[in-house]
Each structure stands twice: as C-alpha cells, then as structure tokens.
Structure 1
Amino acid sequence: MGVSKELLEILVCPKCKGEIELTPKEDGLICKACSLVYEIRDDIPIMLVEEALPYKGNSE
C-alpha cells in the first residue's frame, strides 16, 4: 500500500522541520536540507534522526 499522500503532506523532517519527499524507489523519505533519508519499513516511516541514513544525492 505504501505511505498515503495525506501522511506525506503533514510529515516533516524531525531534525530541521523541513520538507521531505519520497525516494525514487519509495522506500524512504528524503530531507535534502539535512541530507538524510528516513527509511520506510512495513509501510511505516521511521522518523528517528538517530536511525536516518545519509542522503547521497541522485544515487537513491
């Protein structure tokens, strides 16, 4: 099912409160301002800064 559009509209980066967007594979949420990716596991975004992965630009 994936993450709903409604949820994506209200979610923000927990670190900077900036906008986030889906990765091209739709397996994570990108905060370009913080250069972090928050994984999506079992259709649940893991919005913990300590579990975020580094964002590597267009290679996602």
Structure 2
Amino acid sequence: MTTIESWLREILRCPSCRSELVDGSGPEGTPELHCTGCSLAYRIDDGIPVLLVDEARTRS
C-alpha cells in the first residue's frame, strides 16, 4: 500500500500524541499513515509521509 520501508515505518511516531503509525488508506484510496492513539491520518506524497499536524486529516 505505501512505499515507505518497514524499518522506517517502525520508528515513525505521530507528532501529536507520539503513538505508533500504521498503514491505511484515505477516502479516495490514497495511502496514509493512521495513528493508533488519536484520530489523525497523515497523507503520503510520492513515498514521503507528511507528518504535519496542521495538514493531518481527522478520521471518523
């Protein structure tokens, strides 16, 4: 689903709550990283996760 290597995904954390991020998909099937602690989802642009809280999407 994402093009982020597994070793990198394992060390990335949510910038808002510091919880683990897991692979997911957005409303249009676009790759995202979903936080396991809060309801934020971070988009992935060209294989690069955009870990900015201001640009994160709130999952329902």
TM-score band w.r.t. shorter chain:
0.7 to 0.9
Q: Tell me by how many angstroms 1:55 deviates.
A: 1.3
Q: TM-score, normalised by structure 2?
A: 0.82
- Name the count of aligned residue pairs: 56
Q: How does 1:1-60 map to 2 (within 5 A)?
A: 2-24=3-25, 27-56=31-60
- Percent identical pairs in the alignment equals 39
Q: CA RMSD of the aligned region, Å? A: 1.7
Which deviates more, 2-11 or 23-32? 23-32
- Give the TM-score taking structure 1 as reference length: 0.82
Considering fraction of residues, name the structure with more helix.
Answer: 1
More strand by share: 2
Gaps of 5+ in 2: none
> Where in structure 1 do 4 or more consecutive aligned residues deviate above 4 Å?
none
Deviation at 1:26, TM superposition (A): 6.7
TM superposition shift of 1:53:
0.2
